[in-house]
Amino acid sequence: MKPSTHPLFWRDSALPFVELRQVLDGRDVSYALHSHEEWSIGAILNGQSEFLCADRRHVVESGALVMMNPNVVHACNPSQNSPWAYYMMHLDKAWLASLLHEYKVRNITHWQDSLLDTLTDDVFYTDFLNLCESLMSEEISANEKEQVLKTYFVDLFSYLDSSVAGAEKQRLTHKLDHVAEYLHHHCLDETPIDEISGQFGFSAAYFVRAFKRHFNMTPHAYRLNRRVQLSQQALKEGQAIVDVAQAVGFSDQAHFQRVFKKRVAATPDQYRRTFSLSGAALK
């Protein structure tokens, strides 16, 4: 039987800090540059793909893990004529930071970015696949799943942090980061981008060029991406698509559908359908 081309989303209300996506046939999947609020990790199950993370470009294939820090612009798409299948997991950064502090992997309580984009390690790769299968299993309780999650990520970050010991872990705060923070918190405002640039002391043309170099997306695209993030949260809560579209600033529902699908590689309706423990889609 041919693998399904539709993405499968797994969530559990008992584990609200984790979301899992499975794609078994992603040859026709295409992601625009986007970002997530969560820390993310994925496993390439089949085929080869190009992974762009910030300004770094990688070619990854079956057996590789890819990792993305919160709000870092990225995209991962299949190579031409290549099959493509993958898992992608998103973890709440506050939950992850608390876990790493609790188990003394890190001595800070707030989130600090990881430094690697990719990892090729048979043990961590196989254990991640087992973790994903455990989350989707009907035979394992939520408490057991949480323990498996904790064990895996304590081990992974113990390795990641030790492998980059002595490397610079903090980069200088850039003026553009403050603009991005403003767009993040005021994404529903319709303030023209050239007016925002003036508020932060930039000329409009220079601001757009500099912002795109720094974040790999224009200020307008960054604001749209944040609106999509808000819509994802509302859809997970079961809100109606038409209401969500209006709430995040789209008066045209067709426009919302196009913008959402470009960044999530699924329609809003597909995203609302959550894999349940009975194997049925929740509507």
Q: What are the residue ranges of CATH 2.60.120.280 in the chain?
A: 8-163
Q: What are the residue ranges of CATH 1.10.10.60 in the chain?
A: 175-274
The first and second tokens of residue 63, run together, are 């057996």
For residue range 40-51, what is the model confidence (pLDDT) as tens digits? Answer: 999 999 988 889
Across 146-166, average pLDDT: 85
Kindly indicate the confidence band of residue 201, based on its pLDDT and cuts at 50, 70 and 90.
confident
Least confident segment among 159-163, 231-235, 268-272? 159-163
Percent of the chain with pLDDT over 70: 89
Closest CA to 179 of 158, 195, 162: 195
Query: How many CB atoms are located within 10 Å of the residue 191 CB?
Result: 12
Distance CA 183, CA 193 (A): 10
pLDDT for res 30: 72
pTM of this prediction exceeds 0.85: no
For residue range 109-120, what is the model confidence (pLDDT) as tens digits? Answer: 999 999 899 999
| Between 84 and 130, residue with greater pLDDT | 130
- Tracing tokens 């929740």 back to the chain, one arrives at 282
CATH match of 8-163 with 1.10.3720.10: no
b or e along 243-272 (b: 16 or more beta carbons within 10 Å of the residue's beta carbon)?
ebbeebbbeeeeebbebbbbbbbbbbebbb
Query: How many CB atoms are located within 10 Å of the residue 283 CB?
Result: 8
HEC string of the chain equals CCCCCCCEEECCCCCCCEEEEEECCCCCCCCCCECCCCEEEEEEEEEEEEEEECCEEEEEECCCEEEECCCCCEEEEECCCCCEEEEEEEECHHHHHHHHHHCCCCCCCCCCCCCCCEECCHHHHHHHHHHHHHHCCCCCCHHHHHHHHHHHHHHHHHHHHHHCCCCCCCCCCCHHHHHHHHHHHCCCCCCCHHHHHHHCCCCHHHHHHHHHHHHCCCHHHHHHHHHHHHHHHHHHCCCCHHHHHHHCCCCCHHHHHHHHHHHHCCCHHHHHCEECCCCCEEC
Domain 175-274, CATH homologous superfamily name and number: Homeodomain-like (1.10.10.60)
Distance CA 278, CA 179 (A): 45
pLDDT for res 10: 96
Average pLDDT, whole number, for the chain?
Answer: 87
| Between 130 and 283, residue with greater pLDDT | 130
